[in-house]
């Protein structure tokens, strides 16, 4: 009886959450406008008009992408700007799928030519992904994949 009850509870939870998706990812930046322009220019994002709370100084933009994912970029006064080593716990990278090997190569080349550090690739990884990694305007790693 317990097994049947557990199965029914699992099924109800699974059905309730079967369409779960990540709604957005948020990142703090020192230069909010430069970050907005970066994601619009290189990753075809569409920025909203922004939000500003004059009481706290908090500001943000939502950057929307074609498949419905969103990136919230934020800024507030007196943020810590600690080193961002690539091998650390926590946030590692954001990956953008650009649709083809050629698109990975082209975007990586464009970013390199515009002065951004290419941390790796383009290459095929051991688990079969074709990708490159670049370092954004404030030291965050961004992966570009097929």
At 75, which helix (H) or strand (E)?
strand 70-75
pLDDT for position 85: 72
Top CATH class of 20-77 equals: alpha beta
Question: What CATH code would you report for 92-146?
Answer: 3.10.180.10
| Identical topology for domains 20-77 and 92-146 | yes
Tracing tokens 């990278």 back to the chain, one arrives at 93
Confidence (pTM): 0.82
pLDDT digit string, tens, across residues 21-60: 788 999 999 999 999 999 999 999 999 999 999 999 999 9
Domain ranges of the chain: 20-77, 92-146
């Amino acid at each position: 009886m317990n097994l049947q009850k557990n199965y029914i509870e699992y099924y109800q939870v699974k059905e309730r959450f079967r369409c779960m998706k990540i709604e957005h990812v948020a990142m703090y930046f020192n230069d909010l406008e430069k970050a907005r322009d970066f994601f619009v220019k290189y990753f075809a994002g569409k920025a909203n008009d922004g939000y500003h709370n004059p009481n706290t100084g908090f500001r943000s933009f939502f950057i929307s992408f074609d498949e419905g994912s969103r990136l919230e970029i934020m800024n507030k006064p007196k943020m810590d700007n600690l080193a961002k080593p690539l091998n650390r716990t926590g946030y590692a990278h954001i990956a953008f799928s650009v649709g083809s090997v050629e698109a990975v190569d082209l975007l990586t080349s464009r970013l390199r030519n515009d002065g951004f550090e290419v941390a790796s690739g383009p290459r095929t990884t051991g688990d079969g992904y074709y990708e490159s990694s670049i370092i954004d305007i404030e030291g965050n790693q961004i992966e570009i994949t097929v």
